[in-house]
A and B are shown apart, each in its own frame.
Chain A
Amino acid sequence: EPEVTQTPSHQVTQMGQEVILRCVPISNHLYFYWYRQILGQKVEFLVSFYNNEISEKSEIFDDQFSVERPDGSNFTLKIRSTKLEDSAMYFCAGTTGSTEAFFGQGTRLTVV
């Protein structure tokens, strides 16, 4: 069964450093998303991406965040200068647009 793959599974970074979280979506998906889950809190939407551009973003997704799909395969989330409050589980998801979203296993980001 096809699945969404995220790497790394756990990333530890120092405050102020840049991090890139990677995702390989299911091949026939057209819409891609990043969500995050701060420990003990609900899953929150960050951004959606379609046709190589952002289609929707939340208030959380400020100028420190960016997404791209550089090679038509990987879908990345970059955090330019990490803060302690960016520590969370980050989930990538995808959908064909007419079905439910399929989520990856997540990347746990720890900012120290």
Chain B
Amino acid sequence: AQSVTQPDIHITVSEGASLELRCNYSYGATPYLFWYVQSPGQGLQLLLKYFSGDTLVQGIKGFEAEFKRSQSSFNLRKPSVHWSDAAEYFCAVGAKQAGTALIFGKGTTLSVSS
């Protein structure tokens, strides 16, 4: 079955500390991988994506993610968290074929403490 697992429901990080949000996927085809962020009352904003090539991808707001095929993982990282990063983060997987639906994980809520 195709699925995305985000094992951490809620994470609290101190401002300035590093962050890693975990994502594992199960997908039959070559995966396209995404991280989206959702602030309260807002829509889903794309942080970064992996289609092919370099397995370490850079995104907006200082985020990066590393695709590890052997571990079926696409973990999101940030070296120094800012209070404005507090939000819900969703990992998603899709296929190369145009129009394919995305499969989302349940999300990880990030809280930032001062």
B101 touches A45 (CB 8 A): yes
Most chain B beta-carbon contacts within 10 A, residue among A4, A45, A56: A45
User: Which residues in B have their C-beta under 8 angstroms from that of A104?
Assistant: 43
Q: Which of B12-20, B23-31, B70-78, B102-110 contacts A (4 or more CB under 8 A)?
A: B102-110
What is the size, in residues, of chain B's interface with A at 8 Å between Cβ atoms? Answer: 21
**Which residues in chain B, 30-61, are within 8 Å of chain A measured between CB atoms?**
34, 36, 42-46, 49
Q: Is B100 an interface residue (CB 8 A)?
A: yes
Q: Are B43 and A91 in contact (CB-based, < 8 A)?
A: yes
Q: A42-B90, A43-B90, A100-B34 are in contact. Are A56 and B101 (CB under 8 A)?
A: yes
- Known contacts A42-B105, A42-B106, A102 near B100 by CB under 8 Å: no
| B43 adjacent to A33 (CB under 8 Å) | no
A98 nearest CB neighbor, chain B only: B98
State the CA gap A11–B96 with chains docked (Å). 35
Interface centre among A41, A48, A98, A100 (most CB of B within 10 A): A100
B43 touches A100 (CB 8 A): no
Q: How far is the CA of A106 from the CA of B43 in the complex (A)?
A: 6
- Chain A residues near B (Cβ < 8 Å): 4, 6, 30-31, 33, 35, 41-45, 48, 50, 55-56, 58, 91, 93, 95, 97-98, 100-106
Question: Which 10 pairs across A and B sit closest by C-beta, in order of nearness?
Answer: A97-B98, A45-B101, A105-B43, A103-B44, A43-B104, A42-B106, A31-B99, A103-B43, A42-B104, A100-B49
